[in-house]
Copies of this chain bind each other. A is one copy, B any other.
Amino acid sequence: MKTLPNKIFNDPVHGFIEVPRGILLELIDSPEFQRLRRIRQLALTSLIYPGALHTRFHHALGAMHLMKEALMVLKGKGIEIQEDEFLGAQIAILLHDIGHGPFSHALENVFLPGWSHEAMSIKLMHQLNRKYEGALSLGIEIFENRYSRPFFHQLVSGQLDMDRMDYLMRDSYFTGVAEGTVGADRIIKTLMVVNDQLVVEQKGIYSVEKFIIARRLMYWQVYLHKAVIAAEYMLINILIRAKELFQQERLNWCNEPLSYFFQPTEHLENADDKDTLTYFLQLDDEDILYAIKQWQKDSDPILSRLCKGLLNRQLLKVRLQNEPVLSAEIEKAKENIPTSDAHYLCFTGSVSNLAYLGDNKEPIGIMSREGIIQNLAQASDSYNIEVLSSSVKKFFFCAPDRFWWNKTNN
């Protein structure tokens, strides 16, 4: 009898990704996972980096691929890994983002006050586990860090996890920001496990350092790029405004799942989790993009202008600075806007970035040739690592330029 060949996914980042027939492929083929094809990894970043249209679907496949690579390297070094652990770790990382909603992080707080995508992922994993009759149990244990051998969880979520490896490589590839390129295969080849904890061999220290630096550069060049911030907050404000109008029965267009999440927060908080989950799964980026196209025609000038602004890439101006923004400046900016709700257009906030949590919180262990484990900052030859583990916080100030109100009303 002929067995079916592995399924092959073509990935420009990692080359061929092979998935054997079985539970992994069934999960990938499930509507819950296919939905991730319609959730972009970097939300609206494509307005700034036009190539950044890659999805959570692609990222999850890539992270699973790196997990397989990492586990095979560890096995090759004599670490015992059972077949069910091998599979469990792959399931855990494959599904780690399954709970993401439209535009990932951006809208989390709007739709689900008090929830998080991790909580949603866990709920969904349990639901899938029932469907697959327990086949995901070990994967869920690993994901929730309840499994007895912590390095599996560390590979899913930690300072050097396969999630980060993949997203840094992938985001760098699709944005074209070469500075973020990471030699994941090099780091993976230097991974080791000691007392069931993940460590890095001495020879990998420069690669790890480069990895942390690349991450930091990606933060400032991409994730916290000021125009990206502007676009993201415009989107958040669109949703908040739409919700406000909806509750006042003034919104020109809405669909069913959006209506559900536009209920007053207290209703939502008391709603049945199952309903919430059902409606949540019906939403993806396409709904929001379509809504924006409709709302650009809304009679509310704030909503319509914000929507046109995003559609035609007329973004708010944004400034990043080291000091908090003075409220006087915000008030002054609001004066130019012919509406009482100018706070949707003139606002401030802060972003921060921490490339490495630091030796105190969650150290990366470096294993010397003699087998001794040191923390990264200790083992490194410079003060670099210490610096990288101090957080950098910046304040942004968004406001329209002089012509924006009219421009976005064409």
Chain A interface residues toward B at CB < 8 A: 2, 8-13, 15-16, 18, 29, 31, 34, 37-38, 46-51, 53-55, 57-58, 61, 173-179, 181, 183, 185-186, 189, 203, 206-207, 209-210, 213, 216-217, 220-221, 286-287, 289-290, 293, 311-313, 322, 371, 381-384, 387-388, 390, 392, 394, 410
What B residues does A392 contact at CB under 8 A?
Answer: 381-382
CB distance from A64 to the nearest CB of B (A): 13
Q: How far is the CA of A45 from the CA of B115 in the complex (A)?
A: 34
Residue among B2, B15, B38 making CB contact with A185, cutoff 8 Å: B15
Can you show 25 pairs from A to B with CB atoms below 8 A apart?
A8-B203, A10-B48, A10-B49, A10-B50, A10-B51, A15-B186, A16-B189, A18-B189, A29-B312, A31-B312, A34-B312, A34-B313, A37-B47, A37-B313, A50-B54, A50-B61, A51-B54, A51-B58, A53-B55, A178-B183, A206-B220, A286-B293, A287-B290, A381-B392, A384-B388
Known: A31-B312, A179-B210. 20 other contacts (CB 8 A): A10-B49, A10-B51, A10-B175, A10-B177, A11-B176, A12-B51, A15-B176, A16-B185, A16-B186, A31-B311, A31-B410, A34-B311, A37-B50, A50-B54, A179-B207, A209-B217, A286-B293, A289-B290, A382-B388, A384-B387
Q: Which residues of the other chain, B, contact A48 by a CB distance below 8 angstroms?
A: 10
A113 CB, min distance to chain B CBs, angstroms: 25
